[in-house]
Amino acid sequence: MTLFDSIGQFYIFLWAVSFGSITGIIYELCAFLRRLFKFKLFINIVFDSVFCAAVIFLFIIYFTHVCDFNLRWYLFLGIFLGFSLERISLGNYIAKFCDLVYNAVKRIKVKRKKQNDKGGV
């Protein structure tokens, strides 16, 4: 490989940005699941571990298939950029959607609790 061999680096960088975005979406889903189980440390640790394991798994697949495990600084920059862009743009919409789902689940739980309290008396 020569010093100035840059064929395909731009596309590899774009794949890194998309990988970072996918990582951000997975983070949003894990944050949503953590929110469903508030104040339960064990559950939070499990979801954080699942997120880390998924990211490591995807990281290995990405670096093996896309760039033959040649680690370059621009790949990490692309991943960071993709994750940041997802959090700034798409992450807001995903968070709003997760809030809607969370509030709907919460209302259903409250209704069921009221029905059980009325039926049990």
Report pLDDT for 4: 47
Report pLDDT for 1: 45
Report d(CA 9, CA 15) in Å as an integer.
Answer: 10
Q: Is residue 1 part of a domain?
A: no
Report the residue count for the chain.
Answer: 121
Q: Is residue 58 part of a domain?
A: yes
**How many separate domains does the chain show?**
1
Q: Which residue segment(s) compose the domain that 15 sits in? A: 9-120
Report pLDDT for 40: 77
Report pLDDT for 81: 92
Show the low-confidence residues of the chain (pLDDT under 50). 1-4
Report pLDDT for 35: 77
Report pLDDT for 7: 66
Report pLDDT for 29: 83
